[in-house]
A = this chain, B = another copy of it.
Amino acid sequence: MDDFPPTAKSRVKRLHQRAHYDRETIYRILDAGFVCHVGYGIDDHPYVTATSYWRDGDSIYWHGSSASRMLRTLKGGVPVCVNVSLIDGLVLARSGFHSSINYRSVMLFGKATALGDDQEKLRALEAFSERITPGRWDELRPPTAQELKATMVLVMPIEEAVAKERDGPPGDDEEDYTLDVWAGELPFHLTAGKPVPDPRLKPGIAEPAYLQDYELEGQPKGS
């Protein structure tokens, strides 16, 4: 797939060998995560808000209450930075200096707009639900007109983007490999536990299949 052209904002200057501008890498990481950190400014002060997101085609989406200060600010078309970072483990080198973290991350820069049409909003919310819990949307009662009105969905075209990744063992100074220090990686995984039924769950309702062996955050290549 094609590349996103590096820009003044997206070009990685340090450790540039870890940077990737191709759509395939960027979308692979975006599709493995589900929580992003959205950065924006209000009155010259930076804010960072964590929120769930999903990708559809060449856009990413996030949503929330129509009364949310974050969403009301962003729908005005202010510049926004979206960061998705998946932490894959500790890199334990023989020196503190070369110790590190294995990760997959994406930074997007752009401007968001709010979906205005109820049908568009419904389709977007269904896509989000199906991303998180495939098959559940049709089990839920449909959103009411009032709920749709109270929900804002933002969309941001992916145009300025960069991925940064690190994996594999530590890269120590050559002379440090003789030291008597354990070195290697400690991999991390985000795992789902056993579903916990609502105390008010109606008797006789089976646990849905999509919650069994649930895996949300994609694991890194090679693991």
Contact = CB atoms under 8 A, between A and B. Distances in A.
A87 to B, nearest CB: 6
A178 B132 CA distance: 24
Contact of A202 (B41, B87, B180, B205): B180
Contacts of A139: 181-182
A92 interface: yes
B182 A205 contact: yes
Interface residue tally of chain A, by bracket? Answer: 35 or more
A205 B181 contact: yes
A191 interface: yes
Contacts of A99: 129, 140
Interface string A10-25: 0001100000000000
Contacts of A157: none
Number of copies of this chain that the complex holds: 2
**Secondary structure class of chain A's binding surface, majority of residues:** mixed
A141 B95 contact: yes
A140 B44 contact: no
B45 A79 contact: yes
Contacts of A89: 192-193
B81 A45 contact: yes
Interface in A177-203: 177-202
A182 B204 CA distance: 9
A182 B209 CA distance: 11
A199 to B, nearest CB: 6
Given A37-B85, A46-B81, 18 more contacts: A9-B47, A14-B67, A35-B101, A39-B81, A41-B44, A89-B192, A95-B147, A96-B125, A169-B196, A179-B202, A182-B197, A182-B206, A182-B207, A184-B198, A184-B201, A186-B211, A188-B193, A188-B216
Interface of A: 9, 13-14, 35, 37-41, 44-50, 52, 65, 67-69, 79-83, 85, 87, 89-90, 92, 94-97, 99, 101, 103, 105, 107, 109, 125, 129, 132-133, 136-137, 139-141, 143-144, 147, 150-151, 169-170, 172, 176-202, 205-208, 211, 214, 216
